Structure 1
Amino acid sequence: MNHVLCGLAANAALPSELVDRLIAVCDAELASALAGRADLSPGQAVALATRCEGSAEQLAHEGKLSATDVDPATQPDAALALLGAGAGAQEWARLLLADPDRRRRERLAGCPGLPAGVVGALAADPDVRVVAELALWAAPEVAAGLASHPHAEVRRAVADNEATPPAVLAALLTGEGVPPATRCLVCDREETPFVHDSQCQRVGCDLLPGASCDGSHESTLHDTWQAALRNPATPADAVVPFADHPSVLLRWALADRPDLPSTVYARLAVDAIPGIRADLAENPAIDDGVIRVLAGDRGHDVQRKLAHNPRVPLDVLIHLAGVAKIGATLLPRIAAASPVEVEQLAESPDAAVRMLLARRRDLPPGIRDALAADPAAKVVKAVASHPGLSEAQLRAMVERHGAQVVAAVAANPDATGALLEDLARREPSVRKVFREVARHRNATAPALLACLADRRARPVAAGHSALPPQAVAELLADDGWEVVEAAAANPALPVAVMAELVP
């Protein structure tokens, strides 16, 4: 790969005539970079698609080619991309239906708005993978018909399809009114009974680990149930009996459903599997009683996920702040806190609670300033990137708490160029500061030059438009390809240098 040319291909300041020259010499990798340009003209898009078939598909996906620009006979992948976006010609579908490449027929089956005759032909395709793809995206009436398909893999896809009628999804769970499947991917290929070895080393084998069939297609049936249980269109009364199923995966599939009776949520709250309880904890549909049961659950990730539940009561969340590893994120319940609750949180004697509030970026100035002067470094770190803080406040944070907050201060959108320069030169240095400064919109040339000394910040700084043009040009000879590509994509690179680099 030519990293200089790939960087230039993405450079927003590259003149149009140089784009034309790159198109004339591009390979697949360079074509991909060129196809992503926002300023590509219609003529350039057509020229690029003609030069590189692979880019035609990308250009079609991005809306840079129209149906008049594509020949489905010579550019079938681009035609499929346009059909998938609903922008292709109907007659293309009939042409692509006869494509000998199964993967293209499979992609065709996922396209919307296909003519009825094409849908019927895809439903009868000799390759079950094509039929399954059709079942996954089909309209309700087509999905309902495919629910009785003799192949279990097609039924599994029907169970995944949210357009499948609720009564049909329920039937896939109960088996009532649906004839038994006669085949699955396992018994298509192996003598039954058969269980696929999870460590299978056979060349070309694409059966899933643990796939099995004893004549009842049990692993595919299990997958079908799991898909139906996760499908929001499946009626809740058809799902409820699976809350006591011996399969962990089937019980797990219920944990984030929003439509189950409270008794089912209560049952799942005491499930033996911590992962089920953790996913349940994040479900906004659980009631106060279940929330309080889970608040005392020390199982892996249960309390952390409960803290992310938008309906967790504030008193429970205050308790969780002291016991759960919540992470550096704004919690939904904190984001939705009322003005009265915001004041209550700001006055908490617990720094962990004040830290949760400090991650909001819409705090009243008085509360923001109080948190900025908080004695606890973790609170100051959380509020440091809040907009509206003055340079004096930001410098005071660094003076009081040093390395604990300096990177967060550097991430403040209002940090001045002078402050960023000081942070980049600060001793002892904090490596994360360089990355924050290198991506900051207010970073100055001296600050960016200091960032070049850090290995991880160097590629970021190399792409910053405030870096001096001479420095950008010198980075084209760097040992690191990421640095080279970023420098070549930097709009500060002199046009004369660009012209010299393009063949």
Structure 2
Amino acid sequence: MNPVLRGLAANPSMPSELIDRLIALADADIAEILACRPDLGHAQAVALAASVEESVARLAYEGRLTAADIDPATQPEGALALLSEGHAHSPEWARHFAGDPVAEHREKLAACPGLPDDVVEKLAADPDVKVVAELALWTKPRTAARLASHPHAAVRRALAANEATPPVVLAALLTGEGLPPVRRCLVCDREETPFVHDPHCPRLDCDLPPGASCDGSHESTRHDTQLAALSNPATPTEAVVGFVDHPSLLLRWALAARPDLPPDVCARLAEDANPGVRGDLAENPAIDDALIRVLATDRDHEVRRRLAHNPRVPLDVLTRLAGTTRIGATLLPRIASTSPDEAEELAASPNPAARMLMAQRRDLAPAVRDALADDSDAKVVKSIAPHPGLTDSRLSAMLDRYGSQVAARVAANPDATPALLETIARHGPAARKALREIARHPHAPAPALLACLRDARARPIAAGHAALPPAVIEELLTDAEVAEAAAANPSLPPGVMSDLVSRP
């Protein structure tokens, strides 16, 4: 891998004629980057596909190639990529791959949209169960209903995850009622039963999931099928509620996250012994106000933290949680949906934790924003510091009052001026956390970026900043740790780019 050429391949200022030269030099690694360039022309994409065979699929996924550019017989990965992205509506291609002797090609075809009916029929009868399972995962309701009686457990497990599977079929897959017995699973296909797969299996060619087991009842795949059905929003509510007391933790956990649970089921899950179940329930918008208040007193910190993320949590509960629970610097859904009156009330709360929550908003009214910026609590000021619209004088005042406590967040403000960023960069060791924010800030001036280059963590970011002097960028090309970022810098002179492409 040549890091300089990788960087050049991503450089947005790379002239078109140099892209042509780089295409001729590209290996698979560089071709992957070139294929994603938004300015890559069609002729260049065709040239890249001819130069680096491994790039064809990526070019097809990116929409750089058309069906006329690809031969499915010699470029199957590219042709399948076009089919999967809907860029090629070719029944002939689909029929070609449905009979392909390579099972992986048939499996990829099975996930493609808009397949002809005869191709779907052929894939549904494929001798490789992985092909049929892939079809089951993506197929439409009619075929899904027919595949529900398939004798292999892997096909039924895939159907249970498909949101297009009819609800009545999902209910049957969840309980097993009304379906013929499963005959095979991936475990008993390969091993004599009873068998439990070693989670630390040393066999390099083994792709069975850790812990997969079969004693003749295909129990691990049946469990996976139930888990998929419980996680599927199309599975009817009446079919899932019976799992509230199931001995499997994973099944109860999946149930707790469903937004369609009735109150009595939520109440029982709130008493679950596992905090993970209670945590998922706490974040679930299905729970009512009474249960929210019960969970707000849960003994487990993570349950209370998850409750704070519930979009329906009352503000009084949220305020109490903020004072006793480490929520983190994040915009909570309930805070994001506050009305203007609620926002003003929280911003004026005597509880600094409540003010800090509101300070995470980035669309506050100017008066509310400025009041929080002048707050007497450093944590509140730190939270509001990146809010757009704050004046240079207010940002400077924050920095004067709280220094390194707020420096990084002030540097992250989109309206921070070059002079302010340079001031923060001169703060010495106390400003080290701010240097990464400065290094990625579009207003960062050259003197501040030079300071960033002296910090190990900010250096790779600063090396790609367009405000760096060209001479400095050129020097960084010899530094192995930042050469790629420097080569991708849009301010790298075209002459230097040309020399780099010309080097052996």
Residue number in structure 1 paired with 2:498 = 499
1:127-146 equivalence runs, <5 A: 127-146=128-147
Report how far residue 266 of structure 1 moved.
Answer: 0.8
Letter in 2 for 1:155: R
The SS at the match of 2:6 is helix
What corresponds to 1:53 in structure 2? 53
Rounded Cα–Cα distance in structure 2 between residues aligned with 1:429 and 1:3 = 32
Give the equivalent residue in structure 2 for 1:33. 33
Q: Secondary structure at the match of 1:340?
A: helix
Mapped partners of 1:448, 1:220: distance in 2: 55
The CA distance in 2 between the partners of 1:25 and 1:166, in whole Å, is: 54
SS at match of 2:244: helix
Partner of 1:409: 410
Corresponding letter in the other structure for 2:487: A
Q: Cα deviations across residues 346-396 of structure 1 (Å, max 9, x unaligned)?
A: 121111111001111111222211111111100000011111111111111
Query: Within 2, Cα distance between the matches of 1:141 and 1:60?
Result: 30
> In the TM superposition, what are the counterparts of 1:114-129 in structure 2 within 5 Å?
114-129=115-130
- How far the C-alpha of 1:499 sits from its partner, in A, is 0.6
> Which residue in 2 is equivalent to 1:485?
484
- For residue 239 of structure 2, what is the aligned residue in structure 1? 238
The corresponding residue for 1:82 is 82
Letter in 2 for 1:42: H
Deviates more, 1:358-367 or 1:457-466: 358-367
Q: In structure 2, what residue type is equivalent to 1:285?
A: A
Distance 1:255 1:103 in 2: 36
- Identify unmatched segments of 5+ residues in structure 1: none
**Structure 1 pair 275/300, CA: closer, same or farther in 2 (3 Å)?**
farther
1:110 is matched with 111
Q: 1:282·1:306 contact (CA, 8 Å) conserved in 2? A: yes
Matches of 1:429 and 1:313, distance apart in 2: 39
Which SS does the other structure have where 2:428 is aligned? Answer: coil
Q: 1:10 to 1:428 in 2, by over 3 A?
A: closer
Aligned residue identity for 1:449: L
Letter in 2 for 1:62: E
Count of residues in Structure 1 that have an aligned counterpart in Structure 2: 501
1: CA distance between counterparts of 2:430 and 2:226? 55
Matched, 1:293 2:315: no
Cα distance between partner residues in 1 of 2:119 and 2:291 = 50
Q: Given that residues 193 and 215 in structure 2 are in contact (C-alpha distance below 8 angstroms), is that contact kept between their aligned partners in structure 1?
A: yes
Matches of 1:24 and 1:479 in 2, distance apart? 24
CA offsets, 1:280-330, max 9 Å, x none? 111111111111111111225111111011110011101100111111111
Coordinate RMSD, CA, aligned: 1.0
CA contact (8 A) 1:278 1:300 kept: no
Looking at structure 1, the residues matched to 67 and 95 of structure 2 have their Cα atoms a distance apart, in angstroms, of 15
> Cα deviations across residues 149-200 of structure 1 (Å, max 9, x unaligned)?
0101111001111000001111112222200010011111111111112222
Correspondences of 1:195-344 after superposition (within 5 Å): 195-344=196-345
- Does the CA contact (< 8 Å) of 1:258 and 1:283 recur in 2? yes
Match of 1:396 in 2: 397
Cα separation, partners in 2 of 1:428 and 1:6, compared to 1, 3 Å? closer
Q: In the TM superposition, what whole-angstrom CA distance separates every residue of 1:383-433 from its partner, at most 9, and x where no partner exists?
A: 111111111111111111111001111111111101111111113432121
- Equivalent position of 1:346 in the other structure: 347
Shift of 1:495: 0.5
State the shift of 1:466 in Å: 0.7
Distance 2:436 2:325 in 1: 29
Match of 1:450 in 2: 451
Q: What amino acid is aligned across from residue 191 of structure 2 in structure 1?
A: E
Q: What residue is the counterpart of 2:66 in the other structure?
A: 66
Please say if residues 110 and 133 of structure 1, whose CA atoms lie closer than 8 Å, have aligned partners that are also in contact.
yes
Q: Determine if contact 2:301/2:325 at 8 Å carries over to the other structure.
A: no
1:420-469 per-position Cα deviation (integer Å, ceiling 9, x unaligned): 11111113432121101110010111111111001111111111111111
Q: Which amino acid aligns with 2:483?
A: V
Q: Distance in 2 between matches of 1:157 and 1:300?
A: 36
Displaced runs of 4+ in structure 1, greater than 3 A? none
Distance 1:491 1:246 in 2: 58
Q: Which deviates more from structure 2 when the two are superposed, residues 202-211 or residues 318-327? A: 202-211
Q: Deviations over 1:258-294 (max 9, x none)?
A: 1121110111111111000001111111111111111
Q: Is the 1:274–1:300 contact (alpha carbons within 8 Å) kept by the matching residues of 2?
A: no
Query: In the aligned structure 1, how far is the partner of 2:53 from the partner of 2:82?
Result: 14
Deviation at 1:52, TM superposition (A): 1.4
Which shifted more, 337-346 or 95-104?
95-104
Query: 2:10 is matched by which residue type in structure 1?
Result: A
Shift in Å, 1:50: 1.4
What one-letter code is carried by the residue in structure 2 that aligns with 1:415? A
In percent, how many aligned pairs have the same letter? 68
The CA deviation string for residues 17-40 of structure 1, in whole angstroms up to 9 with x for no partner, is 110001112110111111111101
* Letter of the structure 1 residue corresponding to residue 214 of structure 2: C
Q: 1 CA distance for matches of 2:226 and 2:448?
A: 58
C-alpha separation in 1, matches of 2:35 and 2:200: 41
Cα distance in 2 for residues equivalent to 1:410 and 1:306? 31
**Is 1:382 aligned to residue 383 of structure 2?**
yes
- When the two structures are superposed, what TM-score results if normalisation uses the length of structure 2? 0.98
Paired residue type of 1:167? V
Q: Aligned partners of 1:27 and 1:242: how far apart in 2?
A: 53
| 2:193 aligned with 1:192 | yes
* 2: CA distance, partners of 1:332 / 1:240: 27
Is 1:275–1:300's contact at 8 Å kept on the other side of the alignment?
A: no
Q: Which runs of 5+ in 2 are unaligned?
A: none
Distance in structure 1 (CA, Å) of the matches to 2:32 and 2:175: 48
Q: How far, CA to CA, are the matches of 1:123 and 1:54 in structure 2? A: 30
Cα distance in 2, alignment partners of residues 427 and 222 from structure 1: 57
CA distance in 2, matches of 1:191, 1:253: 31
The one-letter amino acid paired with 1:82 is: L
Give how far 1:99 is off.
Answer: 2.5
